[in-house]
Structures are given as structure tokens and as C-alpha cells.
Amino acid sequence: MTIRARLTLIYSAMLAVTSFLFGFSLLRLLDWAWHEQLRESMRSVAQQVTELILNETNGAESQPAIRKQLARMPYLSFAVQVWRQDGTLLFTTGNVEYSEPFDAPSLHSRDEVVRDVRLSAENVHALVYTAPIYDNNGAHLGAVQILSPLTTLDAASERLLRVILVIGLLVLLLAFIAGLVIAGQVLQPIEMINQTAKQITAADDLSKRIPYKGPPDELGQLALTFNTTLDRLERLFMAQRRFVADVSHELRTPLTTLQGNLDLIRRYGADAISLEAMESELKRMTRLVGDLLLLAQADSGRLPLQESVVDLDTLIVEVYHQTKVLSQGVKVRLTPPEPARVKGDPDRLKQVLLNLVTNAIKYTPEGGEVVLSLTVEGGYAFLRVSDNGIGIPKEDLPYIFERFYRVDKARERQIGGVGLGLSIAKWIVEAHHGRIWAESEVGKGSTFTVQLPRLDAEIEPESARDTRPRLPILGAAKRKNSSA
């Protein structure tokens, strides 16, 4: 059974039960109120009759006088009988021809009794009120019985019941239809989600979204969550697709070059240029495969990181000396570093710095300058690599840390970049609970900053630690593992 049908049925059933209880209570209440009123009236008539009878037995009133008195009383639909203690009828009103007591079993009762009776001869449903009559000395003289036919009341009750039933059924029918419509409307987003999911599966198209335009209630939230999940899935899927394409592309170019040079060598014999080209492509491929392996290990959480105390000031000086000699035509400068210690893997942190400095040198024209600095602020150490090179366009800046992202594909391929250096740097920095970002202006230069939580800081770097993904830092890992 569909949720819609179930909801409608539950709703209608609840309404039916409520209406039934309401109708039943209403009927009972009205019945009770009518009876109560009737009983009051009968009690009052009985009292007056008793008084008249007592006066008459004292000789003051005669039968016709009683009759006359009674005629003046309201409630003429009542019939009155007065019975003596010995069972003989003393008096009866003329409006009912009935010689038997209205309610024989209650006739000798010592207390007042009200009973629902059915007069056997006429088959009339009536209420009979019996009150004993005592004289002033307390002697039981007989009883007065007042009868009120219930036919009108019964008819009214029955009519009311019928009206309630018909209205109840109508309301139930309307509620059922309205319930179906409302449930259908409320569940429409679910239906949309279902349809969208089906279309995605059928067409293998992750770009579809749920076109939900309702209020941000639970279903709205569900639609939103679903769309967000799809966004993420689509992005991951695209990234994976792009990754495979990029890897194949990056591998194909050096392979083609190798093949070409090999053909040349086979035909004309080995020459220095061909061999150099082949060596360069091999190096490039080796580096690419190494980078890919590292990223794959990082992704699967199997890249072990050493956990030792690293003096960043020593590290930056090492990197400075190492890169100073590589920088053809670009001046590398180091501002005096402040001492800073962090916990982490010295080789990996050095790799980050080397990646940044080689980038800076690579993307700075001859005569330019690259400045390294290390400062300390609060609980953090800040490593900065600035250059006055070509810079990065604003629209590319958000993507440079993505795998295989290169600002100018054609040119950077010649320079030798694959586009993995910054994504590796980002991963390493984040594994150390740090942050990395870039500021740049085209033609003016770029500054890359690495922020790392300091070991010797007094304040625990909560914010940096909590926002970073927790990746395994294995204390026992050996260097030969991490260089794999």
C-alpha cells in the first residue's frame, strides 16, 4: 500500500472514530438532558398531586375538584394515576384509558422510582415516575404514578441520529478525498526525488537535480540534501573522470616522444639530442608516477608520516641553500627566520617548501626575485614563498591546488609541470593540521603561505586542528617507507 493511501486511510479512520464518539456523546447528552428535565417536571406534578390527595383524604377536596386542579397544571401530556395501598385505583386522569398500574413493580416501593416502561397493550414507550404517598403520621397510603410518553423524544433522537449519520458519512467522504489530495501534494517532492533518482539511473546522468520549489520543511530539506549529495557525487565523478583522462594524457606524451626518438636512433644511430630528450621524458614520467603513487597512498590513508619534532627555521635554511643553486637567473633570498618548531614529518614538510620554491622559480622570469620567510604568530608558524613572477589569474586561483590543474596548459607543459605539485603540498600541509593558500596578481607575482600549528605554542591550536581532516601520522614509520 502506498504511503499516500496509508496516510489517507489512517486520517479517515481517525476522523471516523472521532465523529462517532462525538455523535454518540452528543446523543447521550441530549437524551440525558431531556430525561432530566422530564423527571423534574414529573416530580413537581407528583408533589402537587400528593398534596391534593392528602387534602382530599382530609375531606377537603373531591374527585372533580382534583381533576379541575390538575387541568390547571402544565404538562398535560402526562397521565396521572393514584393508587391506594390495597391496590385499588383512587384516581386517574382521563387522557389515558388504562386500568392497570403504569409501572406495577414499582407500585409498592417506599422510595420514588423512575423507570422506562413499555405499556404492553398500546406498545407505548414511556417514562413512569412513582412516588409513595405518606400521611402526616408517616403511614404509607399508596402511590402516585406519572406517565410521560417518550414517542416524541424517541422520534427526535432517531431523526438526530439519522442526520448525524448522513452528515458524518458525507464529512468522511469529503475528508477522504481531501486527504488523498493533500497527501498527494505533500508527498509530491518524494515522488520527484524518486523520478529524479530513476532518471539518473536510467540515463547515467548525474547533472539532474530535484526541481523543488516548496517551503524548507522536512521534505524540502530532503530534496536539498539529495541535491547536495548529487552535487558532491557529480563533482567526485567528474574529478575521477578528469583524473583518468589527465593521467593518460600525461603518460601518452612522454611515451610518444620516447617512441619517436627510439625510431630515430634505430634509423640513424644514437645521437646526443635524442638521448637527452629520452632521458628528460623518462625523468618526467618517473616523477609523474612517483607523484601519482604518493597521492594514491595519501587518498587511501596508507601514506605513513613521521611524527618528529621539526625545526622549521633549520628546514627553511636547508631549502634556501638547495634552491639557491638551481635558480637560473632568478634571485632567491631568505629573510632571517624566526625560530619555530612543529610536530611532523621533516621530509614531507621539506617537499612542500621545495614544491613552492621550484614553482616560484619556474614561474618567475629571469631577473626576478623569490623571497622565503618564516614568522611566528600566536600558536602558528607561517612559511611564505613570494615571487615577483607572472602571477596567477583570479579565476584560476581557486583551482591551483587541484590535481593536474595548470593555468596555461601548453606553456607549463614545456616548462615541465604536470600540475600535481601543489595538490601534494596541500595534502601534506593538511595532514599536519595546517592550511595553505595563495595570493597572486597577474604580472606582479604570487605569495604562497603555509600555516602550521606550533609545537612550542602555549595555546592549543584548536581551530586549525578541528577543521582539518585527520590523516594518519605514524610515529614508527621509517624514512624508507615515506620515500616509497
Q: Could you say whether residue 389 binds Mg ion (CB under 5 A)?
A: no
- Of the candidates 95, 58, 90, the one whose C-alpha atom is nearest the C-alpha of residue 73 is 95
Q: Among Mg ion, ligand ATP, none, what binds residue 430 when CB lies within 5 to 8 Å by partner kind?
A: none
User: Locate cell 611515451: which residue?
Assistant: 255
Closest approach of ligand ATP to the CB of residue 400, in Å: 4
Q: Among Mg ion, ligand ATP, none, what binds residue 285 when CB lies within 5 to 8 Å by partner kind?
A: none
Q: Map residue 10 onto helix, strand or coil.
A: helix
The stretch among 46-54, 107-115, 300-308, 419-427 that binds Mg ion (CB under 5 A) is: 419-427
The stretch among 9-17, 117-125, 138-146, 417-425 that binds ligand ATP (CB under 6 A) is: 417-425
Give the Cα separation of 112 and 133 in Å (integer): 10
Which of 417, 434, 453, 461 binds ligand ATP (CB under 6 A)? It is: 417
Q: Could you say whether residue 412 binds ligand ATP (CB under 6 A)?
A: yes
Which of 250, 345, 387, 430 binds ligand ATP (CB under 6 A)? It is: 387
Q: Could you say whether residue 285 binds ligand ATP (CB under 6 A)?
A: no
In this complex, which beta carbon is closest to ligand ATP, that of residue 363 or of residue 382?
Answer: 363
Q: Could you say whether residue 421 binds Mg ion (CB under 5 A)?
A: yes
- Categorise residue 312: left if φ over 0, alpha if ψ from -120 to 50, beta otherwise: alpha
Do strands 308-311 and 140-149 pair parallel, antiparallel, or not at all (unpaired)?
A: unpaired
Restricting to residues 200-259, which ones interact with ligand ATP according to CB under 6 A? none
Restricting to residues 419-478, which ones interact with ligand ATP according to CB under 6 A? 419-423, 446
Q: Among ligand ATP, Mg ion, none, what binds residue 130 when CB lies within 5 to 8 Å by partner kind?
A: none
Give the Cα separation of 320 and 357 in Å (integer): 9
Task: Give the helix/strand (H/E) hosting 130.
Answer: strand 124-134
Residues 6+ apart with CB under 8 A from 389: 360, 363, 364, 365, 368, 445, 446
In this complex, which beta carbon is closest to Mg ion, that of residue 93 or of residue 446?
Answer: 446
Closest approach of Mg ion to the CB of residue 436, in Å: 13
C-alpha separations of 470 from 175, 197, 448, 454, 483 in Å: 55, 33, 23, 17, 21
Which of 146, 390, 436, 464 binds ligand ATP (CB under 6 A)? It is: 390
Which of 319, 360, 436, 464 binds ligand ATP (CB under 6 A)? It is: 360
Give the Cα separation of 262 and 255 in Å (integer): 10
Q: Among ligand ATP, Mg ion, none, what binds residue 193 when CB lies within 5 to 8 Å by partner kind?
A: none
56's grid cell = 382530599
439's grid cell = 595570493
Number of residues that bind ligand ATP (CB under 6 A): 22
β-sheet with 124-134: strand ranges across: 89-92, 79-84, 140-149, 124-134, 113-119
Closest approach of ligand ATP to the CB of residue 475, in Å: 29
The stretch among 119-127, 157-165, 287-295, 356-364 that binds Mg ion (CB under 5 A) is: 356-364
CB 431 within 8 A of CB 450: no
In this complex, which beta carbon is closest to Mg ion, that of residue 70 or of residue 400?
Answer: 400
In this complex, which beta carbon is closest to ligand ATP, that of residue 147 or of residue 372?
Answer: 372
Which of 19, 93, 306, 359 binds Mg ion (CB under 5 A)? It is: 359
User: Locate cell 558532491: which residue?
Assistant: 232
Report how far apart the first and last C-alpha atoms of the chain are (Å, whole number): 59
Which of 80, 153, 315, 392 binds ligand ATP (CB under 6 A)? It is: 392
Closest approach of Mg ion to the CB of residue 251, in Å: 18
Closest approach of Mg ion to the CB of residue 207, in Å: 32
39's grid cell = 423527571
Which of 141, 312, 418, 473 binds ligand ATP (CB under 6 A)? It is: 418
Q: Could you say whether residue 440 binds Mg ion (CB under 5 A)?
A: no
Phi, psi of 62, deg, nearest 5: -110, 170
CB 277 within 8 A of CB 271: no
Closest approach of ligand ATP to the CB of residue 457, in Å: 29
Where in 335-397 does DSSP place strands (E)?
341-344, 369-377, 380-387
Q: What residues make contact with ligand ATP under the rule CB under 6 A?
A: 355, 359-360, 363, 387, 389-392, 400, 405-407, 412, 417-423, 446
Q: What residues make contact with Mg ion under the rule CB under 5 A?
A: 359, 421
